[in-house]
């Protein structure tokens, strides 16, 4: 039943979300906030399939991790939008309060399952599902004992949600290491895996090439595939 509950059932349920606001997180990163219906819920870390409805465009549906936690009162997605943007992202930027977007889901297996020592590995915009996961831990006392460390790689050193992460560190929800090179990232991974091996869980979110590199690093340290959860981000 787990697969059907996490994927098929919500996948076939469509709902309209009303746009509230958008704001800039960094030079080329924006968050978009939508009203949350009372019956809408998800597991922190999952993604939705969002469709543009105010105009007809090619490839009008795209997946986005939900950066807000299930217990927050809005649905938020956060994405990178540069000057050279796709038709989809241009359409996102056109949204004004009251307009609507279609969503299916949320779906996906990218969420915490137990209290194992956990390493979160984020590359750039891949921090978005982890923001949801960590926010949810604040309101889930039964999960608060999970030992979590976050390795946050960002070559631009933007480090989205850094102030929020600092507050979470103060409350001992997570320990964070900020990195700007792949070598430093691999060293951090090897340090954690040397301590926990297959007693730990490893969650990786970011660009496909970064995920492949991290997965190779973990497997060379004898971490089994079943302990590695991946969430690949692509540009569009």
Q: Where in the chain is the domain with CATH 3.40.50.80?
A: 118-233
Q: What integer pLDDT is reported at residue 19 of this predicted model?
A: 98
| Res. 215: pLDDT tops 60 | yes
pLDDT, average across residues 158-178:
92
> Regarding predicted confidence, which is higher, 42 or 235?
42
143: three-class secondary structure by DSSP: helix
Cα separation of 234 and 236, whole Å?
A: 7
Q: CA 48, 66, 122, 160: dihedral to nearest 10 degrees?
A: 140
Reported CATH class of domain 118-233: alpha beta
Q: Where in the chain is the domain with CATH 2.40.30.10?
A: 2-107
Residue 2's pLDDT band, with cuts at 50, 70 and 90, is: very low
Of 89, 86, 106, which Cα lies nearest the Cα of 32? 89
Q: Which amino acids are annotated as binding site for FAD, given as ranges?
A: 62-65
Q: CA 77, 83, 86, 90: dihedral to nearest 10 degrees?
A: 60
Q: What integer pLDDT is reported at residue 4 of this predicted model?
A: 42
Tens digit of pLDDT for each residue in 66-97?
Answer: 999 999 999 999 999 988 889 999 999 999 99
Q: How far is CA 230 from CA 92, 110, 121, 127, 139, in A?
A: 26, 7, 10, 12, 24
Quote the tokens at residue 151. 């390795």
Quote the tokens at residue 161. 């949600």
Q: What integer pLDDT is reported at residue 141 of this predicted model?
A: 58
Question: Domain 2-107 in CATH: superfamily?
Answer: Translation factors (2.40.30.10)
Cα separation of 28 and 211, whole Å?
A: 22
Q: Which amino acids are annotated as binding site, given as ranges?
A: 62-65
Of 127, 184, 121, 107, which Cα lies nearest the Cα of 149? 121
Q: In what order do the strands lie in the sheet with 61-65?
A: 61-65, 47-52, 100-107, 14-26, 29-35, 74-80
pLDDT, average across residues 34-57:
94
pLDDT, average across residues 88-113:
94
Q: What integer pLDDT is reported at residue 3 of this predicted model?
A: 42
Q: How far is CA 84 from CA 28, 127, 168, in A?
A: 11, 22, 34
Q: Which positions ≥6 away from 204 have C-beta within 8 Å?
A: 121, 123, 126, 210, 211, 214, 215, 228, 229, 230, 231
| Res. 17: pLDDT tops 90 | yes
| Res. 210: pLDDT tops 80 | yes
């Amino acid at each position: 039943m787990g697969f059907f509950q996490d994927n098929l059932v919500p996948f076939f349920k469509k709902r309209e979300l009303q746009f509230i606001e958008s704001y800039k997180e960094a030079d080329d990163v924006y968050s978009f906030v939508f009203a949350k219906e009372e019956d809408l819920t998800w597991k922190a870390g999952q993604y939705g399939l969002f469709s543009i409805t105010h105009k007809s465009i090619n490839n009008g549906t795209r997946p986005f991790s939900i950066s807000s936690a299930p217990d927050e009162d809005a649905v938020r997605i956060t994405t990178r939008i540069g000057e050279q943007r796709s038709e989809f992202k241009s359409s996102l930027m056109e949204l004004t309060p009251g307009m609507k977007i279609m969503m299916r889901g949320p779906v996906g297996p990218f969420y915490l399952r137990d209290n194992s020592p956990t390493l979160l590995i984020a590359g750039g915009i891949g921090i978005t599902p982890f923001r949801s996961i960590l926010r949810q831990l604040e309101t889930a006392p039964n999960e608060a004992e999970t030992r979590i460390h976050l390795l946050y790689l960002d070559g631009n050193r933007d480090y989205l949600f850094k102030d929020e992460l600092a507050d979470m560190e103060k409350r001992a929800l997570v320990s964070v290491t900020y990195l700007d090179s792949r070598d430093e990232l691999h060293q951090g991974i090897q340090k954690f895996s040397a301590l926990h091996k297959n007693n730990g869980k490893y969650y990786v979110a970011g660009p496909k090439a970064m995920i492949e590199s991290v997965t190779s690093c973990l497997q060379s340290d004898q971490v089994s595939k079943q302990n590695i959860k991946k969430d690949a981000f692509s540009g569009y």
